[in-house]
Structure 1
């Protein structure tokens, strides 16, 4: 048995493929993995180990890791030479690095777009005759294609932050709610179909859609409110039949669900939509933003057949430090313990300000300095890479029992390789005994 262990500060990762035992740790300063040998002892006597793996105890399949493509990320990348842009794409998408394979994009403007827009700003065009990707050809499509130069098999899913302004009660991209008349909802379902088909014509593999980003969050940037009943009707009567009849291989997810202090997001959205056969029949799973955590356990308990996706990790406040990196680890650990088959970061690349077009400074895995014309890799990147480089799509989470507050998760890749990721939650060096 071969075991390899990868350590990042207080993080530990362990993998056994086939030959001699090895240990690896990540030196952040040198930005590389280093390898050293360790000694393993064989014996028939069972020890009381700190970490014990149980291969016969199998949980969810891991189906994808990724981040989100946004206009401001591509704009930041334009300050670099071609070679440096290619380096960043390799850091994010190559098999030897972060190995992202399942990513998100906005349908129209997000809060990290350069300004408000949708894919059809012609008011009253219910037949979608003026649907257009012209704006996306300037920013999002080049960004996606640059990633696909490294990862041709990249899968993409999309969600709107807002419908076209003319489909909303307030006639604006920000705040407000969707109009609920049949003519508008049918046109909006057609809008989704046009998005999928036109992007696929561009050679971009759109595999899923989520009807609305954060329906409970209505800020001044692109946004739109939906009730659970409205989503049930839209999915069951309009979007589901539209895609089933025309693009049956594109999934629909109930997402992206967020929370607030006034609403029970499980009762409002998950219970409402999944308890209705007419809408549930079209859904693959439920996608949660980081602030929808409260509903995850209820979902896996009441609807165990539904897949779980973490659609956007906590975005932070632009600090890009190790404290935020460990917070990201904690959130990935929490979701993976709770059946998540997919985990997505938020912005992969931003400029040195980290600022959205609407004044919110947030984190990114990689920061481009637009003055110095170079880039830096932030601690979040290294934490995420511990998971994404070694746990391949198709892996299953397996049993992992720990003591002394050790945070550990174990996975088995399709080729039989075992991967253990663990964190020492204390500030002092620890020695662990591992039993397989």
Structure 2
């Protein structure tokens, strides 16, 4: 059940970080959450040095963690507008404040409308404007940019990646926002590449540096909301022959990532949406591959993560959109999200991005899909409710940029991720079972024991 938190209580994590007093180093400290009790101190006790552990934290592996974040959507900002100025500031503090609950550092921005925009728009709906002379981000100055600037005021080093849900309609066949594909000729591809360049430049002029662009949101799927289907071959052509060269000519430092991929699917589309139809095919194209600096997966893309890591360990990988639920914001779905996080992190993802940070009750999109959010704002009461996935993500947010994953082993490795910081280790440990369990852990010459209630999640800090 979601609980209404005191919006004025911006809780700082009272756990050891680099530079914390060494007096806290003798035994791990622990914070625990269950469905009805959030962020509670929990005891950890010593265990015998010669114990056979249920969990062992080993050596470091993989790349450095880049961060946690969410997506800036118009409906999120309009939901926040229902709060008083002080309550809105408190919510933003808990999302973005340095050292605060979530401390987001790596977020997503839509290029034009997505399904949580107020309605359809692009930044250039003038048919035939191949030079993008009518390009404008005036719409974003109403909702998205105020939202982003409010976040930057709290987290000046916030990093952004951007992706379109649909090109301008006149670049598509048929010319509609919510299905179809980009017209596959050089003139239209060049115009679309110029659209990206103009977006990056326009946002830079607003003080927002876009560090990455991802050419297409969910290219596997045609949707009733803004979408555009692109094959792997089309993505390779667009990146290698148009988008990459356009960014180079403009002298922009923005990276191109292959994202945000939502295949392979496991339904009837499985025959044409495998790893080899998208990431594999695109990265085999030399022109495209030389421009690609990373890969982003979401939804059914999770099935291609392991193949991608095996084939391209040199490329960083992120999860770009958390699966959204049904608007009921249950602890059960939060537990599913924990499984998603576990899957991505043990396969060396270096970033994880939530979807809607803030919504009104039921979380209904403009196109009629109810979805979960970290925080719900009720227009009737003008109060913010912190939902189960907020409390869950707060545990994982203890993993900070620059940390490196430690290899977990023994039976409880399937329910734990651990990362080493300069001054210690953060471990997030879950009990996925319906009964309480006692777990013995070893790390760095220490042995300790923790009793976890049923369906509990704990964050431990080891100095």
Q: Return the offset for 1:15.
A: 6.9
Which of 68, 87, 105 is residue 90 of structure 2 equivalent to?
87
In structure 1, C-alpha distance between the alignment counterparts of 2:54 and 2:427, rounded to whole Å: 13
1:24 corresponds to: 30
Q: Is the 1:218–1:224 contact (alpha carbons within 8 Å) kept by the matching residues of 2?
A: yes
Report whether the alignment pairs 1:275 with 2:281: no
Report whether the alignment pairs 1:118 with 2:119: no
Report whether the alignment pairs 1:69 with 2:72: yes
Q: Is the 2:35–2:388 contact (alpha carbons within 8 Å) kept by the matching residues of 1?
A: no
TM-score w.r.t. the length of structure 1 is 0.92
Q: Is the 2:334–2:389 contact (alpha carbons within 8 Å) kept by the matching residues of 1?
A: yes
1:129 corresponds to: 133
Report whether the alignment pairs 1:238 with 2:242: yes
Report whether the alignment pairs 1:50 with 2:59: no
In structure 2, C-alpha distance between the alignment counterparts of 1:404 and 1:137, rounded to whole Å: 48
Secondary structure of the equivalent of 1:412?
Answer: strand
CA offsets 1:238-282 (integer angstroms, 9 cap, x no match):
100111232442110111111233122312111111001110010
Query: CA 1:29–1:289 in structure 2 vs 1: closer, same or farther (change >3 Å)?
Result: closer
1:425 corresponds to: 432
Q: Return the offset for 1:33.
A: 4.0
CA offsets 1:407-432 (integer angstroms, 9 cap, x no match):
1111011x232011111111222111
Which of 404, 408, 430 is residue 416 of structure 2 equivalent to?
408
Q: Return the offset for 1:381.
A: 0.5
Report whether the alignment pairs 1:286 with 2:289: no
Deviates more, 1:158-167 or 1:251-260: 251-260
2:63 corresponds to: 60
Report whether the alignment pairs 1:393 with 2:439: no
In structure 1, C-alpha distance between the alignment counterparts of 2:246 and 2:293, rounded to whole Å: 16
Which of 102, 109, 125 is residue 113 of structure 2 equivalent to?
109
Q: Within 5 A, what are the aligned runs for 1:23-422?
A: 23-26=29-32, 33-35=39-41, 38-40=44-46, 43=49, 46-55=50-59, 57-94=60-97, 95-259=99-263, 260=265, 261=267, 262=269, 263-388=272-397, 390-403=398-411, 407-413=415-421, 415-422=422-429
In structure 1, C-alpha distance between the alignment counterparts of 2:154 and 2:17, rounded to whole Å: 27
Secondary structure of the equivalent of 2:439?
Answer: coil
In structure 2, C-alpha distance between the alignment counterparts of 1:210 and 1:234, rounded to whole Å: 12
Q: Return the offset for 1:96.
A: 2.1
Secondary structure of the equivalent of 2:145?
Answer: helix
Q: Is the 1:15–1:419 contact (alpha carbons within 8 Å) kept by the matching residues of 2?
A: no
Secondary structure of the equivalent of 1:312?
Answer: coil
In structure 1, C-alpha distance between the alignment counterparts of 2:322 and 2:364, rounded to whole Å: 17
**Where in structure 1 are there 5+ consecutive unaligned residues?**
1-13
Q: Return the offset for 1:26.
A: 4.2
**Where in structure 2 are there 5+ consecutive unaligned residues?**
1-14, 444-463
Pairs aligned (count): 419
TM-score w.r.t. the length of structure 2 is 0.87
Query: CA 1:27–1:285 in structure 2 vs 1: closer, same or farther (change >3 Å)?
Result: closer
Secondary structure of the equivalent of 2:325?
Answer: coil
Q: Is the 2:298–2:319 contact (alpha carbons within 8 Å) kept by the matching residues of 1?
A: yes
Report whether the alignment pairs 1:435 with 2:439: no
Query: CA 1:239–1:132 in structure 2 vs 1: closer, same or farther (change >3 Å)?
Result: same
Q: Is the 2:178–2:227 contact (alpha carbons within 8 Å) kept by the matching residues of 1?
A: yes
In structure 2, C-alpha distance between the alignment counterparts of 1:129 and 1:182, rounded to whole Å: 18
In structure 1, C-alpha distance between the alignment counterparts of 2:298 and 2:44, rounded to whole Å: 40
In structure 2, C-alpha distance between the alignment counterparts of 1:73 and 1:113, rounded to whole Å: 9
Q: Return the offset for 1:317.
A: 0.8
Q: Is the 1:265–1:292 contact (alpha carbons within 8 Å) kept by the matching residues of 2?
A: no
RMSD, matched Cα: 2.0
In structure 2, C-alpha distance between the alignment counterparts of 1:48 and 1:42, rounded to whole Å: 9
